[in-house]
Amino acid sequence: MSIEFEIKAKIDGNELWSAVFGSGFEQLPWWKSLKFVNCDWNKMPTDQIGHVRIGVEDPEFGDEETVQYEDIKIADLVRGLEACIEKGYHHCGMPISLDFQDYDSCAGDFVLQCAIFGDTVYA
Q: What's the pLDDT tens digit per position in 18-43?
A: 999 999 999 999 999 999 999 999 99
Structural domain range at position 54: 13-117
Question: For residue 17, which of 80, 70, 69 has the smallest C-alpha distance?
Answer: 80
Confidence of residue 59 (pLDDT cuts 50, 70, 90): confident
Give the separation between CA 72 and CA 98, rounded to whole angstroms. Answer: 19
* Cβ count within 10 A of residue 117: 16
**Residue 79 scores a pLDDT above 80:** yes
Tell whether 5 is covered by a domain: no
Q: Is the pLDDT of residue 81 over 90?
A: yes
- Does residue 46 lie within any of the structural domains? yes
User: What is residue 70's predicted lDDT score, i.e. its pLDDT?
Assistant: 96
Q: Could you tell me if residue 34 is inside a domain?
A: yes
In a domain, 60, yes or no: yes
Bridge partners of 85, per DSSP, are none
Do the domain assignments include residue 53? yes
| Domain contains 32 | yes
Domain-located, residue 6: no
Helix ranges restricted to H, the chain: 13-21, 74-87, 105-117
Q: How many domains does the chain have?
A: 1
Q: How far apart are the first and last CA of the chain?
A: 34
What pLDDT does residue 6 have?
A: 77
